[in-house]
Structure 1
């Protein structure tokens, strides 16, 4: 490759077209450097080294040599496959291809057996032809040409017979599919929700305009399955989050070694049921559920018309009052769980790039922090990076299984009482009787039935979980562990802290204040209602504003009053409204008034007041001499002279017919004058 004669260089790039002219040009190029020219062995001709050639000619020869070398290597690789590669091809062949190869093997083994028994190979092949569907020339080719069974061990005949007319199946002529058309099809198909047929039709239209070759749709579909990796389809068609959720198997985490209330998983769920409120508004309630991770039992919940901080805190209070405080929590990145009222200045996760941020210490102290929990006790489910933003990892939250549309809460949402109000699992899966949000079940009925469902959910026998083992219910698993576990019980003050709903109120006369008792805050709303609360403890705060902490879902229970410095005043009871003609309410009111009289009389007796006469004397002692610096202003009657009370002694002296309106006073004085004595 390094040395060339003049004849071999004729008509190459920038080279002359005759041998003599080539010699002249090369001799000039090499000059006195005789090392670049030599006489070829076995010939009279001279040959020139590659470095003696012009750069253009040299590049052309090197590319030609590289192409030839690549072709020879590829051919050698095709012709010299190892037996392992052939067995691999056999394993990846179709069932029909393997069946054909086995049929060929039977015919070839028949020939080998007959030859070993003493027959000539030609006669043995003829007998194999009579007992198979193959011709004489085909069987003879197997032994003497391809694959050449005479030189191959009998144990390896099967993969070598995976042939079709002397060619490996798959090496047959394929339909032409232009490279540009292949790229266009991939671009069309590797997009969300685009089918192969849609991508094929777009490819055909574009191919007609550009002169590309496109085979039939079935061929293109097979090409797509064979040449586009499944992982790439998932990434480009379904997104980055789908890669993690569908290509990476989910963790199967064991609960062995845990106990009841070691960790609870909490999350909110928008019910798939339309509910009607008292004012006629149709809403879908929000349910917040705490599920024990160990047993999968629901240990606390709350229901509201929308997700808010209060419903999460009430769910914690409901759980704590019945069972106690869990050791740790598992939350998602929902707005309620991330609120400062719940977690305060703890370390909370940020959705941005999966990092964490620490909130300022000046923010509100959170409920969980006040209850004695630290950041290490609060666990957050991770997020998965998606093409647009991040996506929550539902597989990381055990409570999500309770929200499943087919099982779990989905069974409750399909209750017969919700006929026409069940919205379906999605907007594209509406039930036949769904009335499009025009009808709603009573919100109170929804809450009652949900409580019944929670009991049923916890007590279903034969749960197929790691702890239930197909025999026990969630509640049984929980109760067995709860009975032998040390659970931290909340103090009364901690339970009050769970009632995160706080409101500033004015204490009116009689130590009474009011709290809104409905979801409708506008006083102009016909459904606006208030509850009244009263206690003698509030007498000292009449006219002042105090803070009330209460359970918004149980307005009839006691509420807790705090003064302006945050000190607890006490528990305040609600005053029930009375019927207008209720005699019992009237008697009760009279009893309260009588008790109050006795109370104040007793207080008066114990007041240790000064004697009245002694108090009067003390006041008199404060009098001073007159200052003579002023006097009382006299009344208007004291400034008018005495006048007669009748007109009998007056005569009319006026002869004026018309009264002067401008001087009515003088006219009146002239009309009446006292009579003279003469």
Structure 2
């Protein structure tokens, strides 16, 4: 970069803040006293020209600041153009790699910032009317670095804008890396052995590699070197897929974050089953772990309905939806998996995308389909696609381990059994009481950490606030009866027409026309002390039948975008795995040396014969049925003859 300029050269530069004529430049020189300007150490910034014609020339730091910046910008552009002309395309871009700079450790980036500070100090002194050489000597002495080192740093940033100096000043040495040769076939042999679902330890794989290397004459490095190469060259997802399987690979992909604030209360729900880790004794005497079907409001996370039975079935799902429709209304959307209880025809019949059972055009509509609920299927055993799984985890911590269930708690796995496992069973009514109270506390707990609750409100408060300001579809009595269980052909009493159902007696005058005839009854097994509903066999409604005599009490509880992303992630990893593992297991076994022959067992010096009677008795021939019949006939005739002879005497 040129540092000294005559008035004519200054005028020809057309710099901002400087006149474009020689006379104007001379006026500026006289006005600001450029001829008398000196640096802090007494060096003059104006001198007489040594060229022919005489005159004065001035140092560039006397120019206005705007002119200095423009002059530097032009110099950078000129040098970049020269590099391009010499064919050094991309030189500047290679030095300015901010992504590479950010990936470096802090120690190396600190060296770049220290160098940048030294160059900044030199430039500041230059702006203070010092020459570059003087500024470099002063700063180098202060910072205890070599003068040539500072000049080398200026060469590193030559032609760059100051904002891009840091990547260019960063040390680019990577140290000396010593490589040990490894036969390519040995490397493939090792990968074929190590990258298997059996998850063999690396030590065992290396021992087999050593045997194969001796057999085939392969050159291999040390075990630690090959182990580091496996960890560095083969991506972690590929190792997980080939050694641990697809399920572990799925866990490496983060779950989808879904914003449920777009809903309102009872606009969308999700339903699933949960098997309690508690032994419960049912009224019939059977002791088992009960199954609960629960429904959760997606907006507020509140548990809005639940039922308990011995197993998951369509009747249990039907009753849980009946409780939801009766207490809160009909949702617009429902997320559920395609388990047999949820995908049953009585629940989701008529849904075109039901992934269980055959979908026939003539099949009757299920409850959800008939009520206009949009059904969304989720992946079974996938907690990421069903928020209700988080609620079930809370139930395990706060309800299943309740003190009232001490001795009946089973643990969530065979390895987590408590010491007092199966020492008692909880009666069903006591179990339902504790579970009901636990769910009420779960819904009422304040300061919930969700987007809707904001660490302030409870699930109940969030639900009630939105529910009061939302339009909710309510179910008619006829629609609620669809959710009740149907008894198969109950025959009415021949005299009064009363109905006997599960130990209880029901009667109404609407049954007079159906005395002694078979009818169908819909009922709720949890509320047998209330009315039931009678239907003709063709499905037409007869009427409500009240409880007449209670002789007993019975109980008969019976993304899309993210998945797509994950499937894409798994498919790409599978392709990468195919590239990494080139040897099949059959090819690997062909390269594996043959096993050494087993040594023969020792032989005795002499053999002693065994004495005694070793002859086997001949087995009796089996007697056939025909022989037995013939023998019976002979004996029977002989008996008759004896009887006849005795009579004649």
TM range (shorter): 0.5 to 0.7
**1:19-60, CA deviations, whole angstroms, 9 ceiling, x for partnerless residues?**
xxxxxxxxxxxxxxxxxxxxxxxxxxxxxxxxxxxxxxxxxx
User: Counterpart of 1:359?
Assistant: 359
Match of 2:239 among 233, 236, 251: 233
Query: What CA distance in whole angstroms lies between the structure 2 residues aligned with 1:120 and 1:308?
Result: 85
Q: State the match for 2:391 in structure 1.
A: 402
Say which SS state the counterpart of residue 300 (structure 1) adopts.
Answer: strand
Look up the match of 1:576: 550
Which of 472-481 and 96-105 deviates more? 96-105
Q: Is 1:208 aligned to 2:207, yes or no?
A: no
Q: 1:212 to 1:92 in 2, by over 3 A?
A: farther
Once the two structures are TM-superposed, the CA of residue 183 in structure 1 deviates from its matched residue by: 3.1
Distance change >3 Å, CA 506–CA 479, structure 1 → 2: same
Correspondent of 2:346 among 328, 341, 347: 341
In 2, Cα distance between the equivalents of 1:110 and 1:209?
63
The TM-score with structure 1 as length reference comes to 0.56
Name the CA shift for 1:491/1:215 in 2 (closer, same or farther; >3 Å).
same
Counterparts in 2 of 1:574 and 1:314: CA distance versus 1, 3 Å: farther
Distance 1:120 1:101 in 2: 18
1:341 deviates by 0.8
Cα 1:158–1:547 shift into 2, 3 Å: closer
Find out whether 1:350 has 2:339 as its counterpart: no
Residues in 2 aligned to 1:316 and 1:203: alpha-carbon distance in whole angstroms: 59
1:433 pairs with 2:419:
yes
**Counterpart Cα distance in 1 of 2:272 and 2:121:** 72
Where does the alignment leave 5 or more consecutive residues of structure 2 unmatched? 1-86, 126-130, 553-649
Q: 1:560 matched to which residue of 2?
A: 533
Give 5+ residue unaligned stretches, structure 1: 1-75, 352-356, 384-390, 517-529, 579-678
Q: How does 1:58-97 map to 2 (within 5 A)?
A: 83-84=94-95, 91-94=102-105
Give the Cα separation in 1 of the matches to 2:401 and 2:462. 27
How far 1:499 sits from its partner (Å)?
0.1
Q: 1:454 aligns with which of 439, 453, 461?
A: 439
Is the Cα–Cα contact under 8 Å of residues 410 and 418 in structure 2 kept in the other structure? Answer: no
Mark the CA change 1:347 to 1:204 in structure 2 (over 3 Å): closer, same or farther.
same
Which residue in the other structure is 2:581 paired with?
none
Aligned to 2:313: 308
Q: Secondary structure at the match of 1:348?
A: coil
Q: Contact (CA 8 Å) 2:507, 2:546: kept in 1 or not?
A: yes
Instruction: From the superposition, tell whether residues 463 and 91 of structure 1 become closer, same or farther in structure 2 (CA, over 3 Å).
Output: closer
1:292 equivalent in alignment to 2:297: yes
TM-score, with length taken from structure 2 = 0.59
C-alpha distance after superposition, 1:489-509 (max 9, x if no partner): 222222211103332222234
Maintained 8 Å contact 2:291/2:310:
yes
Structure 1 residue 187, shift from structure 2 partner: 3.7
1:458–1:216 distance in 2 versus 1, CA, 3 Å? same
Q: 1:413 deviation in Å?
A: 1.4
Q: 1:209 to 1:106 in 2, by over 3 A?
A: farther
1:483 pairs with 444, 463, 468, which one?
468
**CA contact under 8 A between 1:382 and 1:392: conserved in structure 2?**
no
Q: Does 1:423 align with 2:410?
A: yes
Q: Which residue of 2 aligns with 1:514?
A: 500
Of the three residues 258, 263, 275, the one matched with 1:252 is 258
Q: Distance in 2 between matches of 1:188 and 1:160?
A: 46
Q: Which of 1 and 2 has greater Rg?
A: 1
Work out whether 1:464 is the aligned partner of 2:449: yes
Task: Indicate how the Cα distance of structure 1 residues 502 and 116 shifts in structure 2: closer, same or farther if over 3 A, else same.
Answer: same
User: Match of 2:295, SS?
Assistant: strand
The one-character-per-residue Cα deviations of 1:637-671 (angstroms, maximum 9, x if unpaired) are xxxxxxxxxxxxxxxxxxxxxxxxxxxxxxxxxxx
8 Å contact kept, 1:184–1:203: no
Q: Deviations over 1:188-228 (max 9, x none)?
A: 44445837xx13432333233324514343x4454334212
Distance 1:103 1:259 in 2: 56
The equivalent residue for 2:272 is: 267
When the two chains are superposed, the root-mean-square deviation of aligned CA atoms in Å is 4.3
Secondary structure of 1:205 counterpart = helix
- Quote the Cα distance in structure 1 between the aligned partners of 2:178 and 2:120: 30
For the residue of structure 2 that corresponds to 1:173, the secondary structure is coil
User: Partners of 1:440 and 1:259 in 2: how far apart?
Assistant: 41
Deviation (angstroms), 1:424? 2.9
Q: Partners in 2 of 1:157 and 1:473 — Cα distance?
A: 51
* Cα shift readout 1:517-573 (whole Å, capped 9, x = no counterpart): xxxxxxxxxxxxx33434454454343322111112222222222223333333241
SS at match of 2:326: helix
Distance 2:349 2:154 in 1: 83
Measured against aligned partners, the alpha-carbon deviations of 1:440-472 in whole angstroms (never above 9, x if no partner) come to 322222211111112111111111222211111
Q: Do the aligned partners of residues 221 and 543 (structure 1) sit closer, same or farther apart at CA in structure 2, a change above 3 Å counting?
A: same
From 454, 476, 480, the counterpart of 1:495:
480
Q: Measure the CA separation in 2 of the matches of 1:485 and 1:106.
A: 62
